[in-house]
Structure 1
Amino acid sequence: MAFRTDIEIARDARKKPIMEIGAALGIPAEHLLPYGHDKAKVSQSFIRSLADRPDGKLILVTAINPTPAGEGKTTTTVGLGDGLNRIGKKAVICIREASLGPNFGMKGGAAGGGMAQVVPMEEMNLHFTGDFHAITSAHNLLSALIDNHIYWGNTLGIDERRVMWRRVMDMNDRALRDIVVSLGGVSNGFPRQTGFDITVASEVMAILCLSKDLEDLQKRLGDIVVAYTRDKQPIYCRDLKADGAMTVLLKDAMQPNLVQTLENNPAFVHGGPFANIAHGCNSVIATQTALKLGDYVVTEAGFGADLGAEKFFDIKCRKAGLKPAAAVIVATVRAMKMNGGVAKADLGAENVEAVKKGCPNLGRHIGNVKGFGVPVVVAINHFFSDTEAEVQAVKDYVAGQGAEAILCQHWAKGSEGIEDLARKVVSLAESGAAHFAPLYPDDMPLFQKIETIAKRIYHADAVLADKAIRDQLKAWELAGYGHLPVCMAKTQYSFSTDPNLRGAPTGHSVPVREVRLSAGAGFVVVICGEIMTMPGLPKVPSAEVIRLNDQGFVEGLF
């Protein structure tokens, strides 16, 4: 059989009208706002009507630290949702939306892969229903209002040197990281240094994904700290009277998007905060809606479990009152070999010893997730080059960690290839073994929260932070922000802050370079190492091969 790309498979999908997908979930047609025939938004009034329904069981899909070998977390999330439906469970998938920046850069899309995809794949990766554009517009409206307020007399006394609010766009553009605005004379305002972040790094994105309704959204927007006065008093978004207009721009974006998998199972695709700088999960409103409509909800967290799962548990679940019933950790034989020191070019050759050498990375993630009181199963995402001996090595190692590893072939076979994992997930979820609890209590001091994550999740010896950072954290505690969770911003490639340190390193420290208050989103961002909030494009960006073919179809997305 000839190899088909993800986009070719998606294009051949036999999609059902989105009204049929909604009807199967019990959503009346009048509560679906269609975007074409294959995607729709769910009305806020319908979501409110679900409040008294019991919740289904929440399943988290996370992964080992990402490697260039690939892990397939989203593909496994979609495949598991299909697999649960195949064995007779009413399951709903919840994933994030894709950012244009990575699509045209090097990461590719966010709709799964092979026979485990959400469709329409092209639209999902290119504008979709316009949510990210709405977030961009709302964010930049606030930026414009700040500069406009200063121009017309600055009655709030904003210190132009202490404007914290930058601008955003949904594209990778390193030239905009650090810029000067308002050049050109008096009529253009007061020159100052600022810059752009990518839209997914916007606090507005994080707020939308953590808000439970439009009222909560507006309150959180009003809580954003945008600047400080000369005596270092905070200026809030509501002080500029921006929160109402921003909410208007975001009212449709707050409605979850309903689409379907290749096997016509329901999927909510909504929100997409940057997994480095924010919490990296789909929206709370989509997850809670899905839990009211399905027996099982399969969702994913960003990057490896040290970043994604920790933030899912300590930020999203804490704030939304979610209690996951089980967790799946995705791993591949190829990634184990890479963690074991094998170069990417040599991953096709059997190397059982390298697999064994790389497995401690997986083992640490298993222990970490169990530490939250959530039962764990490992999904070995199958590649055609995997040998029986290599797969068995992973299974044996995981068994030694008190868990089970299951070979999954959903990429090639769809739901048929992941039935075993689906049955194991049901067994774990229905066993009552989950006793979820966040890693730290709300009232723990902020610096101690950072230390707790660094030592218990990253297995670091110490956190390094200078006096200015410690003083800033104490000042926020005095201002009433000490109850907030912390959102760690570090490399996704390692448990440490060194992206080249693979495996399960010990004896390392976590240096804190900067802390930022996201008062609207409700967390303190802790920046460790060099984290880019505006990525650049690679030497050969994906944009160079994305085009329309002679039939008018998109080519080059992956």
Structure 2
Amino acid sequence: MPEANFTPRPIAGVAAELQLTRDDYEPYGWHKAKLAEGLAERLGDRPRGRLIGVTAISPTPLGEGKTVVSIGLAMALCRLGHRAIVTLREPSLAPVFGIKGGGAGGGAAQLLPRDDINLHFTGDLHAVTSATNLLAAMLDNHVKRRQSPRIAPDGVTWRRCVDMSDKGLTRIVTGLGGWRQAPVRETGFDLTAASEVMAILALATDRNDLRKRLGRIVVGRSDEGTLVTAEEIGAAGAMATLMNDAVRPNLVQTCEGTPALVHAGPFANIAHGNSSVIADRVALRLADYVVTESGFGADCGAEKFVNIKCRVGGLEPAAEVVVCTVRALKLHSGRLPVPRGGKLPPEYERDDPESVRAGAANLRAHVENVRSFGIPVVVAVNRFPGDTERELEEVARQGREAGAHRVAITDAFARGSEASVDLAEAVVNAAQQPHSLRFTYDLAQPVAEKFEAIARSIYGADRATFEPRAARQLKQFEEDGYGDLPVCIAKTQYSLSHDPTLRGRPRGFEFPIREVRLAAGAGFLYALSGDMVTMPGLPSTPAAMNIDIDSQGRITGLR
């Protein structure tokens, strides 16, 4: 269903329904706006709504439609008479022009203005990129001029970033040519969505907190062996200036006019995978229900949602939705061929509850993971046209046996809120259940034990292993005084393990950690596992090859 079928309302009408005054938001054109700084605090006398998380099973090349389900759920809650807002991450240009496409939903469950959201939007990602690279430029100048505190070129740890999949920038040498302001050193680029500044934007509680976190960024180690921060080289203030507007959440709407806040965009496989704390806090003062989506499966985004975002932001979800599809469960069974080139093999169209049952081991693991946090679970089955009643019944049975409070079928892509009412009713019921949020680990535990706790209890590994380099880094960071931080693991999204080929529910494996990085400003230690890198590449046929624009400015091929 193309976006042309939908006519967005002026953003002033969306704001008015939220009882916002003209001092509470700044229009960015007709259909998008920036909320005012400090709005959550100014609305402190309003009742606080219920936070609903949305996660999924381990993703497959078939796509599970988690964003579509999130948007459909928010619209259906409004259809039931509740005031609801959906809070989502801002899409990165890397998947838009790479392998995944846009991140604004689709069909009858999408955000508007879709093309704006998927492209430059309000400039937040560019601000993150600019702030990151300003710090890198000032750091190189500091090193080359041998300013105090003295840092040797090989003592620099800060990397640049760009919001595009450009594999050639993963590992580079800068400063060639003998330039006065640039030392020769080996470095590289991360994706903007994987950068520490992006993580800071998503976890900051207000502008002042953002400024402090930027100042705490560790950029390298001095000649004397002490850690050097962005504050010490005089870069934090200018970085915060570049982020002045980016810290304010963006107000848009769904295709049914439901309010949506789109803010921050950290990836969940290589970062912490959740939209901003600020957006959730504002939304909870504006709505009865706030639907927020975490990236990828419950082992990635939802784990970090609880152990990092909720811990930092003082948030407590009332319920969590785990999205799955019949065809994804068939793939996780290991019995059917893996789709290639976007074409669905005919085996997936056959009535096959046995393969659904075998693949449901993955669903059960994710439901159990969410329940380990003490959160009531609703399984949302995102229905596709070829699904049979027997297959859907099998998914429902597996979800209930895993401990889900309810299982509901949704078809938001085809029919919007109308097809998500059962899911909304299930979520409202689950959100009223008594519960208490539990974390996977205690901050006082040794760092290695925190990684071990996630690997064993969330991924299902027998144990975590640390390569010599990672073990040395862990020891050093603990000696530097950062042992009490939460931890963030970069891992493949396609498996509960570190190996993307291990579908379903792998067991009996060791979870390898090869490198540990410090994100002092974001406030966590960050591990790389398996073959994960922080700069993805392009597929053989990038999505960009199908995107074009006509003489009237109409964009085509942007999905």
What secondary structure is seen at the aligned counterpart in 1 of 2:496?
A: coil
Map of 2:112 onto structure 1? 119
1:468 deviates by 4.4
Map of 1:382 onto structure 2? 383
Map of 1:494 onto structure 2? 495
1:229 deviates by 1.6
Say whether 1:88 aligns with 2:88.
no
Aligned mate of 1:192, from 185, 193, 206: 185
* Residue correspondence of structure 1 range 174-253 to structure 2 within 5 A: 174-187=167-180, 189-253=182-246
What secondary structure is seen at the aligned counterpart in 2 of 1:328?
A: strand
Please list the CA deviations of residues 306-356 of structure 1 after superposition, one character each: whole Å capped at 9, or x if unmatched.
Answer: 111100000000111101000100000010111112123132222221111
Flag structure 2 segments of 5+ consecutive residues without an equivalent. Answer: 340-344
The answer as to whether partners of 1:277 and 1:525 remain within 8 angstroms in 2 is: no
What secondary structure is seen at the aligned counterpart in 2 of 1:505?
A: coil
What secondary structure is seen at the aligned counterpart in 2 of 1:470?
A: helix
What secondary structure is seen at the aligned counterpart in 2 of 1:539?
A: coil
Please list the CA deviations of residues 142-187 of structure 1 after superposition, one character each: whole Å capped at 9, or x if unmatched.
Answer: 0010011122233211021021111111111111111111111243
The answer as to whether partners of 1:326 and 1:434 remain within 8 angstroms in 2 is: no
Map of 2:450 onto structure 1? 449
1:411 deviates by 1.0
1:550 deviates by 4.9
Say whether 1:503 aligns with 2:518.
no
Map of 1:33 onto structure 2? 26
Give me the whole-angstrom Cα distance separating, in 2, the residues matched to 1:51 and 1:132: 29
Distance of aligned partners of 1:324 and 1:186 in 2 relative to their CA distance in 1, 3 Å threshold: closer
What secondary structure is seen at the aligned counterpart in 1 of 2:533?
A: coil
Give me the whole-angstrom Cα distance separating, in 1, the residues matched to 2:468 and 2:446: 16
Map of 1:396 onto structure 2? 397
* Residue correspondence of structure 1 range 325-336 to structure 2 within 5 A: 325-336=318-329
Flag structure 1 segments of 5+ consecutive residues without an equivalent. Answer: none
Once structures 1 and 2 are overlaid, which stretch shifts more, 529-538 or 497-506?
529-538
Say whether 1:299 aligns with 2:292.
yes
Give the AA of the match of 1:75: V
The answer as to whether partners of 1:102 and 1:108 remain within 8 angstroms in 2 is: yes
What secondary structure is seen at the aligned counterpart in 2 of 1:303?
A: coil
Distance of aligned partners of 1:358 and 1:490 in 2 relative to their CA distance in 1, 3 Å threshold: same
The answer as to whether partners of 1:324 and 1:434 remain within 8 angstroms in 2 is: no
Give me the whole-angstrom Cα distance separating, in 1, the residues matched to 2:197 and 2:269: 15
1:552 deviates by 2.5
Give me the whole-angstrom Cα distance separating, in 2, the residues matched to 1:47 and 1:11: 34
Give the AA of the match of 1:430: Q
The answer as to whether partners of 1:450 and 1:486 remain within 8 angstroms in 2 is: yes
Please list the CA deviations of residues 53-100 of structure 1 after superposition, one character each: whole Å capped at 9, or x if unmatched.
Answer: 332100000000000121011110000000100001111100000001
Please list the CA deviations of residues 371-393 of structure 1 after superposition, one character each: whole Å capped at 9, or x if unmatched.
Answer: 10000010000100111111111
The answer as to whether partners of 1:491 and 1:531 remain within 8 angstroms in 2 is: yes
Map of 2:278 onto structure 1? 285
What secondary structure is seen at the aligned counterpart in 1 of 2:476?
A: helix
Give the AA of the match of 1:438: F
What secondary structure is seen at the aligned counterpart in 1 of 2:110?
A: strand
Map of 1:406 onto structure 2? 408
1:276 deviates by 1.9
Say whether 1:172 aligns with 2:174.
no
Give the AA of the match of 2:457: R
Give the AA of the match of 1:374: I
Give the AA of the match of 1:121: R
What secondary structure is seen at the aligned counterpart in 2 of 1:187?
A: coil
Map of 1:57 onto structure 2? 50
Q: With structure 1 as the length reference, what TM-score do the two structures score?
A: 0.97
Map of 2:432 onto structure 1? 430
Give me the whole-angstrom Cα distance separating, in 1, the residues matched to 2:505 and 2:426: 27
The answer as to whether partners of 2:52 and 2:319 remain within 8 angstroms in 1 is: yes
* Residue correspondence of structure 1 range 476-555 to structure 2 within 5 A: 476-555=477-556
The answer as to whether partners of 2:143 and 2:152 remain within 8 angstroms in 1 is: no
Give me the whole-angstrom Cα distance separating, in 2, the residues matched to 1:294 and 1:106: 34
* Residue correspondence of structure 1 range 1-16 to structure 2 within 5 A: 4=1, 8=2, 10-16=3-9
What secondary structure is seen at the aligned counterpart in 1 of 2:450?
A: helix
Give me the whole-angstrom Cα distance separating, in 2, the residues matched to 1:472 and 1:176: 24
Say whether 1:141 aligns with 2:142.
no
- Percent identity, aligned pairs only, is 49
What secondary structure is seen at the aligned counterpart in 2 of 1:513?
A: strand
Give me the whole-angstrom Cα distance separating, in 1, the residues matched to 2:134 and 2:393: 55
The answer as to whether partners of 2:467 and 2:515 remain within 8 angstroms in 1 is: no
What secondary structure is seen at the aligned counterpart in 2 of 1:347?
A: helix
Once structures 1 and 2 are overlaid, which stretch shifts more, 327-336 or 39-48?
39-48
The answer as to whether partners of 1:497 and 1:529 remain within 8 angstroms in 2 is: yes
Give me the whole-angstrom Cα distance separating, in 2, the residues matched to 1:372 and 1:185: 54
The answer as to whether partners of 1:104 and 1:542 remain within 8 angstroms in 2 is: yes
1:479 deviates by 2.5
* Number of aligned residue pairs: 550
Map of 1:77 onto structure 2? 70
Give me the whole-angstrom Cα distance separating, in 1, the residues matched to 2:327 and 2:485: 38
1:188 deviates by 5.3
Give me the whole-angstrom Cα distance separating, in 1, the residues matched to 2:33 and 2:198: 20
1:189 deviates by 3.1
The answer as to whether partners of 2:154 and 2:185 remain within 8 angstroms in 1 is: yes
What secondary structure is seen at the aligned counterpart in 1 of 2:299?
A: coil
Map of 2:249 onto structure 1? 256
Give me the whole-angstrom Cα distance separating, in 2, the residues matched to 1:189 and 1:68: 43
1:105 deviates by 0.5
Give me the whole-angstrom Cα distance separating, in 1, the residues matched to 2:457 and 2:221: 35
Give me the whole-angstrom Cα distance separating, in 2, the residues matched to 1:549 and 1:19: 30
Give the AA of the match of 1:125: N
Give the AA of the match of 1:405: V
The answer as to whether partners of 2:332 and 2:504 remain within 8 angstroms in 1 is: yes
Q: With structure 2 as the length reference, what TM-score do the two structures score?
A: 0.96
1:466 deviates by 3.6
Give me the whole-angstrom Cα distance separating, in 2, the residues matched to 1:159 and 1:102: 36
Once structures 1 and 2 are overlaid, which stretch shifts more, 10-19 or 518-527?
10-19
Aligned mate of 1:66, from 59, 62, 65: 59
Once structures 1 and 2 are overlaid, which stretch shifts more, 155-164 or 318-327?
155-164
